[in-house]
Amino acid sequence: MIRFHLERSGVPTYLQLVQQVHQAVRLGVLKPGDQLPTVKEVVGTLTINPNTVLRAYKQLDIEGIVEGKRGVGTFVASDARPTPPDDDRKALRSALDRWLARARAAGLTDDEIATLFDDTIRPPAISRVA
């Protein structure tokens, strides 16, 4: 069962929820057939607007990641295969560009940058909040 969390990142709340579901499916934390928390449960944990949760679940439904079963709950679809949406890619890319510029301005060589990157990525930085 996934547990949602919120970050003050400027990303709209519903989108954060969507992304967290994507991530969870990608990493296998959520498998096809698993049930997502009910709207009430998410609201109870995060103190957010139920409409936001509904919006996130609706988007996931449209993307084919989840399917809602009326009166029962929302479940991960059997053929769920999330890809990062284009916006995400673009934002990530430009943020990476800026970060690289900053690293170089700080005096790091390309090798040092690569080492830094490897070290960061290798113990996989998955926030697996059970």
Partner 1 sequence: MSAISTDALGKRYGSTWALRDCTLEIPAGSVTALVGPNGAGKTTLLKLAVGLTRPSFGAVEVLGLAPREDERELMPKVGFVAQDHPLHMGFTVAETLKLGQRLNPSWNDDIARTRIEHLRLPLDRKVGKLSGGQQAQVALTLALAKQPEVLLLDEPVASLDPLARREFLNSVLEAVAEHAMTVVLSSHIVTDLERVCDHLVILSESRAQLVGSIDEIVASHRLLTGPLADASDVARVHDVIRASHTKRQTSLLVRANGHVYDAKWELHEVDLEDIVLAYLGYGVAEYELEEVVR
Residue spans of beta strands (DSSP E) within 1-130: 66-69, 73-76
CB of 42 to partner 1, least distance (A): 8
Q: What residues line the site for partner 1 (CB under 8 A)? A: 6, 9-10, 12-13, 38-40, 43-44, 46-53, 92, 95-96, 98-99, 101-102
Residue among 81 and 98 whose Cβ is closer to partner 1: 98
CB of 78 to partner 1, least distance (A): 27
Residue among 2 and 48 whose Cβ is closer to partner 1: 48
Quick one: tokens of 12?
């709209």
CA–CA dist 25, 82 (Å, integer): 7
Q: Contact, 63 vs 77, CB < 8 A?
A: no
- Rounded-to-5 percentages of helix, strand, coil across the chain: 55, 5, 40
CB of 76 to partner 1, least distance (A): 21
Q: How would you label 43-68 residue by residue, b for 16+ Cβ within 10 Å and e otherwise?
A: beebebeeebbebbbebbeebebbee
Residue among 77 and 103 whose Cβ is closer to partner 1: 103
Residue among 37 and 80 whose Cβ is closer to partner 1: 37
CB of 31 to partner 1, least distance (A): 25
